[in-house]
Each structure stands twice: as structure tokens, then as C-alpha cells.
């Protein structure tokens, strides 16, 4: 009579299925009849299964069956009823088993689900094409990646002056919108060799009087800014543009005249500086050339 405790087999799905009320099935057949139908169909096509079919609920396991100690699978309908012949109310065992881990659907499946078009048989043929795109997700350092990053960096640097004007906005992304996007496109086109800028108003055609007015106003504003800064002691950046223009306006010396020295009375007189420039003597620092190298 010693019952081997703890050796009760777990209730499996089929025995649990019998516990559920038959009214849950959609058809009039009960669950075990459905299982029996499928089993028969299966066995008709293939070899009969090794396992015995699950017994009907009315059968009670005999105590003599347990004597050999090993219990047959799916043989036990309910808990061992004990020695008393009157069956106690069956204890319902509820199993919480996670049968499978939920597999995430592939990207194409998700796309097919979210698109409102009916599915067609064609997508199942393209199984092989789904593998390569997964490689692109990795952050590997291929040449293409480097080039892409370089390009992005160059663009960022050249458009940084536009971004700085956007710094008032709270967004963190670096995408330009609106006027700044047009400006950045224009900048890229100019570097690629466009003739004139599309966004810069001074590059467009306009009446001479208007252009002169704009430029004059710009010059006036700049000079005012420098004057005020000098008066208030504010140090500004070095002025650009004035010396570059002056440098170009060198005096024309005549057609056949020599570039260094004075030619008078058949004699070419070279000063010390001329000789130094011919021999290419060691140049002084930038500060020494204050006079912009004007010939003496």
C-alpha cells in the first residue's frame, strides 16, 4: 500500500483537454472525439502511433495497475483516489507552461501585416534575398562606411555656420530645414562648380543703382562697426578685403621695361633691395614687409 509519493506524472495537454467542458468546442463533437478522428486519419495514412489513446473520463485507474511502480503515460485520469471506493471530487490541475517563446516575425512579414493589401503567394519565393540586408546593420568599418562618414563630416563642417544659427532650437538632430536647407544645397552646388549661387541675392541680376545702394550700405555698416569698436576698445577680427584689393593694383611699368631696378641712360641701377629680391635672400618676417613690398 505504500504509495510512492511524488512520482505522479504531470498531467499533459490531452488529459487536460478532457477536463475542459465540451461546450467550448465549436462543433458538436467533444474534444476527445475530435482527437480520435484526427488520430484515426493520421494512422490511416501512416503507421499507428505507439501511445495508447487517452481513456474515457469514466474509467478510473485500478489500484492494481500501480503495483509495478511505473505508471503508464496518460493512463491516470485524476488523482489517486485512495483506498476509499467513493470517488472524491476530482482536483483540477491547472498547468501554466510556456510552450514556446514568441518568435518575432520577420521584417517582410511585419510589413505585409501593416500594409492593407491582401497577401499573395509571391513573397514566399524570396526567402534567399532576406539574408544579405542583415549584414548592413552591423557597424563594421568597411571602405564604403568610411567614405560615407567622411562625406557626412565634410558636410557638417561646411554647413556649421548655418547650424549655429539654428542653435536656438531645442532639437538635437542636425537636419536643416527651410531656408537653411536651400542655403546648404546652394553651397554644395557651388563647390561642385555651379556658375552662380541661387540663394545669394547679390549674385542675381539687379539694377546697378540697387546694387550700389546695397554695397554702400554694407560698407557703411562695417565701417561704423569698426569705428565704434575702436572707440570702445573692443578688439575685432582683422579686416579683410581692403589690403587684398590694394595688393592687386600694382603700377604698370611699361611694356618692355625690366621688372627690377631703374633704367636710365643705358644703365640699370639696382638698389640693395632689388639685389636681395634677385638673389632670393632670406626673407624677413611678415612684420618687416609692412610696405607691401613696394618698389623703392
Partner 1 sequence: MTDSKTAPPPLRFTGHKYLINRLIFSTLTGRAIRISGIRSSSPTHPGLLPHEVSFLRLLDSVTNGSQIEFSYTGTTVVYRPGLIIGSAAGYGAGSGGVVKHELPKECPRGVSWFLIPLCLLAPFAKGQVNVLFTGPGVITSATENGDVSVDTVLRSILPLYSNFGIMTDKIELRILRRSNAGPTGKGGGGEVQLIFGHQVRLPKTIHLLNPGRVKKISGVAYSIGVAGANNARMIEAARGVLNQFKVETYIFSAVSSAPLIPMDRGGEKKKIGIGFGISLVAESSTGAYFSADVVSPPSGGAPPEDLGRRCAFQLMESVSQGGYVSTVAAPTMLTLMAMGSEDVGRLQLGRDVIGSEEIISLARDLKAFGASGWGLRDADSGCKGDIVVSIVGKGVGNVGRKI
Out of 62, 100, 128, 232, the residue judged to bind partner 1 by CB under 8 A: 100
Q: Is 24 in the site for partner 1 (CB under 8 A)?
A: yes
How many other C-beta atoms can be found within 10 angstroms of the C-beta atom of residue 223?
11
Q: Between 116 and 259, whose beta carbon lies closer to partner 1?
A: 116
DSSP type of residue 201? G
Q: Is 128 in the site for partner 1 (CB under 8 A)?
A: no
Closest approach, Cβ 160 to partner 1, in A, equals 44
Question: For the residues of 38-71, what is the DSSP string, one character each?
Answer: HHHHHHHHSPPPSSPPPPPTT----GGGGTTSPP
Out of 89, 118, 233, 256, the residue judged to bind partner 1 by CB under 8 A: 118
191's CB contacts (< 8 A; 6+ apart) are 158
The kind and range of the H/E element at 262 are: strand 262-264
Dist. CA 103–CA 113, nearest whole Å = 15
Out of 27, 62, 126, 134, the residue judged to bind partner 1 by CB under 8 A: 27
CB 254 within 8 A of CB 267: no
Out of 116, 126, 259, 279, the residue judged to bind partner 1 by CB under 8 A: 116
Long-range contacts of residues 104-112, Cβ cutoff 8 Å, at least 24 apart: 106/130
Q: Could you give the 3-state DSSP secondary structure of residue 29?
A: coil
Out of 4, 7, 90, 105, the residue judged to bind partner 1 by CB under 8 A: 105
Q: Is 296 in the site for partner 1 (CB under 8 A)?
A: no
Q: Is 123 in the site for partner 1 (CB under 8 A)?
A: no
Q: Which stretch binds partner 1 (CB under 8 A): 64-72, 101-109, 177-185, 276-284?
A: 101-109
| Structure-block grid coordinates of residue 159 | 554647413
Q: Is 113 in the site for partner 1 (CB under 8 A)?
A: yes
Out of 88, 109, 200, 222, the residue judged to bind partner 1 by CB under 8 A: 109
Closest approach, Cβ 110 to partner 1, in A, equals 8
Out of 64, 84, 99, 279, the residue judged to bind partner 1 by CB under 8 A: 99
Q: Is 120 in the site for partner 1 (CB under 8 A)?
A: yes
Calculated CA dihedral for residues 141, 143, 146, 148, nearest 10 degrees: -120
CA 279 to chain centre: 61
Q: Which stretch binds partner 1 (CB under 8 A): 33-41, 54-62, 170-178, 271-279?
A: 33-41
Closest approach, Cβ 55 to partner 1, in A, equals 20
156's CB contacts (< 8 A; 6+ apart) are 163, 174
Q: Is 125 in the site for partner 1 (CB under 8 A)?
A: no
Residues at the interface with partner 1 (CB under 8 A): 13, 20, 24-27, 34, 37-38, 98-100, 102, 105, 109, 113, 116-121, 124
Amino acid at each position: 500500500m505504500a504509495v510512492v509519493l511524488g512520482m505522479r506524472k504531470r498531467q499533459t495537454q490531452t488529459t487536460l483537454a478532457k477536463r475542459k467542458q465540451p461546450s467550448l468546442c465549436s462543433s458538436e463533437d467533444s474534444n476527445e472525439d475530435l482527437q480520435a478522428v484526427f488520430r484515426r486519419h493520421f494512422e490511416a495514412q501512416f503507421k499507428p502511433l505507439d501511445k495508447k489513446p487517452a481513456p474515457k473520463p469514466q474509467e478510473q485507474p485500478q489500484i492494481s495497475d500501480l503495483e509495478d511502480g511505473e505508471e503508464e503515460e496518460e493512463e491516470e485520469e485524476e488523482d489517486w483516489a485512495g483506498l476509499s471506493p467513493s470517488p472524491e471530487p476530482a482536483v483540477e490541475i491547472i498547468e501554466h507552461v510556456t510552450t514556446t517563446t514568441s518568435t518575432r516575425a520577420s521584417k517582410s512579414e511585419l510589413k505585409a501585416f501593416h500594409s492593407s493589401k491582401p497577401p499573395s503567394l509571391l513573397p514566399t519565393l524570396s526567402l534567399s534575398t532576406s539574408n544579405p540586408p542583415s549584414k548592413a546593420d552591423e557597424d563594421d568599418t568597411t571602405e564604403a562606411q568610411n567614405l560615407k562618414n567622411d562625406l557626412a563630416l565634410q558636410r557638417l563642417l561646411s554647413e556649421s555656420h548655418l547650424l549655429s544659427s539654428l542653435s536656438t532650437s531645442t532639437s538635437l538632430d542636425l537636419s536643416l530645414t527651410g531656408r537653411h536647407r536651400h542655403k546648404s544645397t546652394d553651397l554644395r552646388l557651388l563647390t561642385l562648380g555651379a556658375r552662380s549661387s541661387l540663394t545669394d541675392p547679390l549674385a542675381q541680376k539687379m539694377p546697378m543703382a540697387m546694387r550700389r545702394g546695397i554695397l554702400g550700405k554694407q560698407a557703411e555698416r562695417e565701417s561704423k562697426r569698426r569705428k565704434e569698436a575702436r572707440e570702445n576698445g573692443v578688439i575685432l577680427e582683422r579686416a579683410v578685403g581692403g589690403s587684398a584689393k590694394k595688393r592687386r593694383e600694382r603700377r604698370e611699368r611699361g611694356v618692355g621695361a625690366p621688372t627690377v631696378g631703374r633704367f636710365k641712360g643705358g644703365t640699370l641701377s639696382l638698389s640693395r633691395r632689388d639685389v636681395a629680391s634677385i638673389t632670393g635672400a632670406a626673407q624677413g618676417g611678415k612684420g618687416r614687409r609692412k610696405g607691401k613690398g613696394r618698389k623703392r
